[in-house]
Amino acid sequence: MDISSWWRRVRRRGLDREQAAVEITAAFRSGTAVDEDDLLRTRGERVYDEMLTDAQVQSALTTKKFGILDADWQVVPDGEDEPSQQAAELVRFALGQLRGSVTRILLNALDALAHGYSVQEINYSLCEQDPWRGRVIWQSIKSKPPRLFRLEIDEYRNLKSLYLRMPGGQEQPLPAEKFVLYAYNSRYESPYGRSDLRSAYKHWWAKQLLLKFWLLSLEKFGAPTVKGVVPRHVPEEERRELLRVLDRIQQETAVVLPEDVQIELMEGRSPIGAAYLQAVQFHNREIARAILGQTLATDEGMRTGSLALGRVHYRVMQLYFRALRRDLAEQVMEEQLFRRLVELNFAGAKVPRFVWVEREEAEDG
């Protein structure tokens, strides 16, 4: 078959271009990307920052971030030709000259776990060292608060530009190619991604209520009620004086009473807050499950299980980590950072690959 006639037929049918527009609703105006997170629309942008103050949420996210980054990496050329080899060498050199570190770039990108997406600005400079004198390299890559930006997209959700929100409602247009955007767990190419905290929110919210009522319960029932027993013939005035003594007994170190007056402490049969503790532990486990995909990593001492169960939970967590490592390598390092640097310096060179060096899992004999 003649390739030119085949290609003309492809173009006539529109197979060479995207046709199914996503942004076709009334909410899509002036090219502004609409965040599909219903929680942000109802609770505001600070709800996830508030959740990050919770110890369980912070612990699970930190475990996930550091677990993802707990692997070595290397820059590998994607071709045997000289330009591709040189491109890989330049990328390695530029990473070494970068103000900051690769770990910091990836850690900043992983802010998307909490906020859905992350934004980092690339600052370039001309190299003044041999053998790359006159080449463009990175000076710094700085993380920015994502909610400071308005994202402009087309109807197919291709990013066109960013607008920095300024005081007074003004907006400063910025070129999209100067920024590294990482959309985590994105649906239908949404540039906003989807936060892990969205799935954990209902358990975090329920836990806040439980903690509030638990404190009220401790305030009301934490100290046992003091009961005084007096003979029937004791006058009313002496009874009232005894009641005043009992009111002060929580603060006093000692009291003096007649020998025919008895004091008892009325305590509940079950420890105060046992039900609250179980409920809080349940919601903590669900928060960990929403973020990490398992619970044993943050559930020490709460339950027991076999070594095989622990291995299953560990392997599930490692599946998450490996998938996210690949996504970071492809979407952040290769497609945005490496590609732009190579295109600024070389013609026809293939983009180097960012390869994670995975550790072998130890097997018990």
Q: Which helix (H) or strand (E) holds 50?
A: helix 47-51
| pLDDT confidence of residue 42 | 86
What is the bridge-based pairing of β-strands 72-76 and 149-153? unpaired
- Distance, in Å, from the CA atom of 160 to the CA atom of 31, rounded to the nearest integer, reads 9
> What confidence tens digit (pLDDT) does each residue in 200-210 have?
999 999 999 99
- Distance, in Å, from the CA atom of 110 to the CA atom of 68, rounded to the nearest integer, reads 9
- Distance, in Å, from the CA atom of 162 to the CA atom of 362, rounded to the nearest integer, reads 46
pLDDT surpassing 50 at residue 364: no
* pLDDT (average), residues 87-114: 96
pLDDT surpassing 80 at residue 365: no
What is the bridge-based pairing of β-strands 159-165 and 171-175? antiparallel
pLDDT surpassing 50 at residue 144: yes
Largest CA-CA distance found in the chain, in angstroms, rounded: 118
How is residue 72 written in tokens? 């070595």
> What confidence tens digit (pLDDT) does each residue in 263-272 have?
666 665 556 6
> What confidence tens digit (pLDDT) does each residue in 29-68 have?
555 666 678 888 888 888 999 999 999 999 999 999 999 9
Give the SS3 label for residue 52.
coil
- Distance, in Å, from the CA atom of 333 to the CA atom of 342, rounded to the nearest integer, reads 12
- What's phi and psi for 351, nearest 5 deg? -70, 125
Residues 6+ apart with CB under 8 A from 307: 364
High-pLDDT (> 70) share of the chain, %: 77
Residue matched to tokens 């996504």: 327
